[in-house]
Amino acid sequence: MKNKFKDYAANESNPKWKKMIKREKDIYKRQGDLRSEFDRDYTRILHSTAFRRMKHKTQVFFSPENDHICTRIEHIMHVESVSYTIAKYLGLNTELTKAIATAHDLGHSPFGHEGERILSEICQKDIGETFWHERNGLEYVDKIELLEDYHKNKRNLNLTYAVRDGIISHCGEIDENGLKPRDEYIDLNQYTKPNEYAPYTWEACVVKVADKISYLGRDIEDAIKLGILDEKLEELYAILQTNEVINNTVIINFLVRDLCENSSVEKGLCFSDETFNLVKEIKKFNYKNIYKTTKVSASTRYFNILLHEIYYTLKSAYDGRKTPDKIEKMKKIHPEVFSGFEKWLSDYWEYIRSDKNYNDVLFDIENEKHYCKAIIYYISGMTDNFAIDTYNKIIGF
């Protein structure tokens, strides 16, 4: 039945509404804006540099020669499409799902989940915390991504609570059926690990499920195109109980329809038991035959060397209050590498910036952990190609 979630959609009649649209600051206001609160968020995300870089970040397969293999930005568009279909059918707010879906992976590092794992290892060693892309995505829109306001001041995106919550709550790696939103309005900085809390809105729950629906089928389709599954197709046909052509649209259509037919406010967003078990089997198959294959894992050793070298090269310039002087010295050895990092830092360290037309100061120059965290933010924002180019400039003469 269509529109069965309509009474719980993110709109003005929802008792959570004022908290959903709450922003940290009252900026970027203009008279006669035709957009809704969530549509304003969507355009800010779309105009951000972090979003633009998604087209050059790994989804699963690194640097494919085939132009038709999925990159991070295409995955984002799949999630937006799937979540729109589900939200529209259930009667939920499609503008909110569009904004969350478009922003949900902004915190991903170069080289996909392997890059995320490597940065987390570095973070645990030098900062004492883990790195995970859901939290990094929230911190990027809250602290790192800057847009100019009407007075040429650089400000953060200042997104609504509902969209920010959707970003940090979107983890699609967890196997759960019957997903429901939480009632509590919490400080999102309370999150200490992925999936610690349920999302705050039904729309964010939709994006969370759409994330999994989107990547399961597409990863299979890409692996088939690349010949990775040539010897595993019979096993895959047995799991899917079909000998027909397997592609992403067929899998997505089946999963979306099953979810829409079986979900209810009482049960939550859920698949039928049979389909839920199938989803778990597909995910298990993908991990065994795609994500953990020699073809994929071989590049991991390269990513590990590359990201560590970039990190420790940039870290070598730390010298407390004398760090800017040390950076100047390092420019003689690695001119482009340290000039680029210094330019990036200039938006976040008061010591370096030349005027006050910025957001709040983010890093304390005398705190080494702050400096290390700045490097992590900087690296996490890199595209695959920029990270490779930076590494080559470090080791080149």
Share of the chain above pLDDT 90, in %: 68
Distances 362 to 133, 164, 323 between C-alpha atoms, Å: 19, 19, 16
Average pLDDT over residues 141-167: 90
Place of tokens 């919490």: 186
Residue 183 CA to its chain's centroid (Å): 24
CB neighbour list of residue 194: distance below 8 Å, 6 or more residues apart: 132, 134, 135, 171, 173, 174
Average pLDDT over residues 144-155: 83
Place of tokens 């915390």: 129
Other Cβ atoms within 10 Å of 184 Cβ, number: 9
Give the side-chain half-sphere CA count within 13 A for 122: 25
Q: Which of 37-46, 232-241, 242-251, 346-355 has the highest mean pLDDT?
A: 37-46
Question: Whole-angstrom Cα distance, residue 230 to residue 281?
Answer: 19
pLDDT at 239: 86
Q: Give tens-digit pLDDT for 43-76.
A: 999 999 999 999 999 888 776 667 778 889 999 9
Question: Whole-angstrom Cα distance, residue 64 to residue 269?
Answer: 35
Does the pLDDT of residue 143 top 80, yes or no?
A: yes
Average pLDDT over residues 103-126: 96
DSSP 317: T
Q: Tell which residue, 324, 317, 316, 307, has the closest CA to residue 379.
A: 307
pLDDT tier, 171 (very low <50, low <70, confident <90, very high otherwise): confident
Does the pLDDT of residue 243 top 70, yes or no?
A: no
Question: Whole-angstrom Cα distance, residue 247 to residue 220?
Answer: 8
When the pLDDT of each residue in the chain is averaged and rounded to a whole number, the result is 90
The DSSP H or E segment spanning 246 is none
Question: Whole-angstrom Cα distance, residue 250 to residue 242?
Answer: 11
SS3 state of residue 110: coil
Asked if 158 and 16 count as a contact pair (C-beta separation under 8 A), the reply is no
Does the pLDDT of residue 245 top 80, yes or no?
A: no
Question: Whole-angstrom Cα distance, residue 154 to residue 158?
Answer: 12
Average pLDDT over residues 233-248: 77
Rg (CA), the chain: 22
Class of residue 128 by CB neighbours under 10 A (exposed 0-12, middle 13-18, buried 19+) = exposed
115: which 2 tokens?
A: 């890059």
Asked if 166 and 106 count as a contact pair (C-beta separation under 8 A), the reply is no
Share of the chain above pLDDT 70, in %: 93
pLDDT at 226: 84
pLDDT at 148: 80
pLDDT at 61: 78
Q: Give tens-digit pLDDT for 340-378.
A: 999 999 888 876 555 555 556 688 888 999 999 999 999
Question: Whole-angstrom Cα distance, residue 60 to residue 217?
Answer: 12
pLDDT at 64: 62
Q: Which of 107-111, 232-236, 294-298, 351-355 has the highest mean pLDDT?
A: 107-111
Backbone angles phi, psi at 58, to 5 degrees: -65, 135
pLDDT at 223: 86
Q: Give tens-digit pLDDT for 263-297.
A: 999 999 999 999 999 999 999 998 888 887 777 77
pLDDT tier, 85 (very low <50, low <70, confident <90, very high otherwise): very high
Decide: pTM greater than 0.85. yes
